Amino acid sequence: MGESDGYVRPLREFVVGRFLEGQGEDLRSDSPLLELGILDSFSIMEIVAFSEERFGIRIPETELTPANLSSLTALARLIARHDARGDIAARGDSGQDGG
């Protein structure tokens, strides 16, 4: 299990719920989000805002590249690079301080 694996599940749940109307049975961690039209300029900003709030990070605009947004796995790696606290999703932490 890689250091970014714990981020994939909450990202997938967000994408399926917000952009796929709950119909994400075929969405895999390596599905090409941009090529499939799941992410566009508006949804990218939504998933970045979700990620920053959920994981308590800041993602620089310079890192919002097609390579970093290409799949849930790529997004998870991007988040892991900016999360100084480690893989909070894998620990089951809600991202909230306090224990």
pLDDT in tens, 45-99: 999 999 999 999 999 999 999 999 999 999 999 999 998 765 544 444 444 444 3
Cα separation, 94 vs 20, whole angstroms:
24
Instruction: Tell me the pTM.
Output: 0.80
Instruction: With cut-offs at 50, 70 and 90, classify the pLDDT of residue 4.
Output: confident
Q: Domains of the chain: which residue ranges?
A: 5-22+29-85
Residue predicted with more confidence, 22 or 70: 70
Of 88, 35, 8, 12, nearest to 99 (Cα)? Answer: 88
pLDDT at 39 over 70: yes
Residue 33: phi, psi to the nearest 5? -60, -40
Domain topology for 5-22+29-85: 1.10.1200
pLDDT at 84: 73
Query: 77 Cβ partners below 8 Å, 6+ apart?
Result: 4, 68
